[in-house]
Amino acid sequence: MKYRLKLIGLGLILVSLVFSCTKDFDEINTDPHGFTTASDGSLFNAIIESLVLTGNEQFYINNEILYKQTELAALTKEAWGNFTLGTEDMWSNYYRTLPNFRELGYRFDAMPQTGEVINMKAMLKVVLAYKTFKLTDIFGDMPFFDAGYGFQDLEYLRPKFDKQEAIYKYLLDELKWCDENINDTATVVEPFPTFSGFDRLFNGDMLMWQKFGNSLRLRYAMRMSEKEPQLAAEIIQEIIENERPLILGYDFITYVGESVCIWPSQMGFKNESLNWSFREHNNLRMGSNIWHRLSENDSTDGSGIFDPRAYIFFEPNNAGDWVAFPQIPDLNTPISGGIPYGSHRDQAGAFQIKGEGCIYSPFNYFIVRDEDFMPIPLYTGAETHFILAEAYLRGIGLPQDPDMAEIEYMNGITTSITWWKGVSDNSKLPVSGLLFIDMSPIPTNLNVVTVLNHFAFWLVETDEEKLEFVYTQRWLDAFRQPWEAYALARRTGKTPREGDLIHHYRMPYPPSEAEYNSANWAEAVSRQGGDAPEFKIWWIP
């Protein structure tokens, strides 16, 4: 089946607003249908900049909670109980940015509704959908429909919490509007050229915006498929049968390797909080769960490794051995330590110095230190193929078709390995310029075939076993999107796991919301059964 290709652009550069004294020149030189100041582009810039993960989100939410809950890594010590620093950052990041969305929406509505203006509205809607889906999937019900308008009307300063179900359905409709209204030929007339100049992610490529919007529709339709099976099936069917453009890894047999990422070097910033969040946290190591999906045995020399991503995600300990921290440690488990994430490793002579206490395999240093060329993934082409593999296996919106499921599954694995290999090939350290390919070489005998020798459909008999393979590979591909792996684990209960099934379903609301929006917060908490991790959000079966 053929899909058209295109992705959306986002931009990232924080531009300050400059208020000029030359009022008369502004009036003379201004296009009446364009921007009167740089503020429109600056607002969009701030929106894109808000997609960058904050240090506290990475430290207190991803590293302390989500990697443990998803078992994509092992948390060797729970030393940081103040997760509210992370939830406050996530919450405030969203609600500080929301007025920018609302203001730009008003401005675009006031302009003549040309194809160019409609395209700008679509760009705005797609980014709003991404940010809102991410936040509601962490917390559940949240202020949305009345939120972000406090600058216009004081009655909206303490907005009500809306049900997650209503938010999901609204955003899915908005993304469908984007697909139906984006015009990739309407890009040459102002104000679009000025506005697209702030689109550092896709440089105004509207086909890419369309692809991103449709891919989000696919992701979140599948996510709600247990609670809204008919609507989810309709959305998936409409996208695939009408060959709507999607983010792809493979287009037929051609590798295209599309993704939606924040690439720091392309956007003019350094992702400095990345290394800080690992260096100061220092409690994450490779766990036995993910190790057993990358290696066929526990040989410390790495001879059992069959998946090249093992070398991209992790590295040997200070002694040069591959050792996993037990996912479920006991009182006799030796403690972990060392300095594997210290910035001293930027220099060639000190690269291998991880500290004698580093007895377990840490995250690969390039993943946690490269602040220029290591992307922040928002969506990968592999994810599209894994979603379609699940849809064909289960018959969600598409006829059950084991052959098509296998094709999509194999495309997903091939895309993930090829894409991550490309990321590592271009990775280098910010101070010394040391290259990943020189310091962490991947054995040439490891490739897609060696992975399929352990995870191919033909190795198992039942659809249930095949589905678990799909979830395993989608989980692995989301290694640097632990919030997505967290959603997959909560929805399916079938991602790789040691011990009990996941019972952590959401994050509690930040304390500031309970303090400043107490009545609406209390009503939302009561409606959802409580404000603790054991209470499920709407789409979890």
What are the structural domains of the chain? 31-273+370-528 (1.25.40.390)
The band of 263, judged by pLDDT with boundaries at 50, 70 and 90, is: very high
E strands along 150-293, which residues? 250-251, 254-255, 259-262, 284-285
pLDDT tens per residue, range 446-468: 999 999 999 999 999 999 999 99
Q: In the numeric block, which tokens belong to residue 208? A: 């890419």
CA 175 centroid distance within chain: 18
pLDDT tens per residue, range 391-438: 999 999 999 999 999 999 999 999 999 999 999 999 999 999 999 999
Reply yes or no on whether the pLDDT at 30 is more than 60.
Answer: no
Contact 216, 126 (CB under 8 A): yes
* pLDDT attached to residue 33: 42
CB atoms within 10 A of CB 36: 12
Pairing relationship of beta strands 284-285 and 74-75 according to DSSP bridges:
antiparallel
Mean per-residue pLDDT of the chain: 92
What average pLDDT does the segment 30-40 reach?
A: 48
Euclidean distance between CA atoms 472 and 234, whole angstroms: 26
The band of 188, judged by pLDDT with boundaries at 50, 70 and 90, is: very high
Handedness of CA 390, 392, 393, 394 (dihedral sign): positive
**Residue in 325, 373, 345 with CA at minimum distance from that of residue 279:** 345
CA distances for 13 relative to 16, 178, 198, 262, 265, angstroms: 10, 24, 7, 11, 11
CA 330 centroid distance within chain: 33
Euclidean distance between CA atoms 125 and 123, whole angstroms: 6
Contact 400, 394 (CB under 8 A): yes
**To the nearest 10°, the Cα dihedral for 533, 534, 535, 541?**
110
Which residue is listed with tokens 């972990």?
336
Phi, psi values for residue 260, rounded to 5°: -115, 110
Contact 278, 63 (CB under 8 A): yes
Contact 206, 182 (CB under 8 A): yes
Which amino acid makes up residue 316? P
Reply yes or no on whether the pLDDT at 343 is more than 70.
Answer: yes
Euclidean distance between CA atoms 79 and 345, whole angstroms: 24
* pLDDT attached to residue 78: 83
Euclidean distance between CA atoms 474 and 409, whole angstroms: 9
pLDDT tens per residue, range 63-82: 999 999 999 999 999 877 89
Is pLDDT larger for residue 409 or for residue 42? 409
Euclidean distance between CA atoms 506 and 229, whole angstroms: 22
Euclidean distance between CA atoms 72 and 477, whole angstroms: 10
Pairing relationship of beta strands 254-255 and 259-262 according to DSSP bridges:
unpaired
Reply yes or no on whether the pLDDT at 37 is more than 60.
Answer: no
Q: What is the pTM of this model?
A: 0.92
Reply yes or no on whether the pLDDT at 199 is more than 50.
Answer: yes
Helix or strand or coil: residue 133? helix
Phi, psi values for residue 32, rounded to 5°: -60, -20
CB atoms within 10 A of CB 47: 23
* pLDDT attached to residue 39: 75
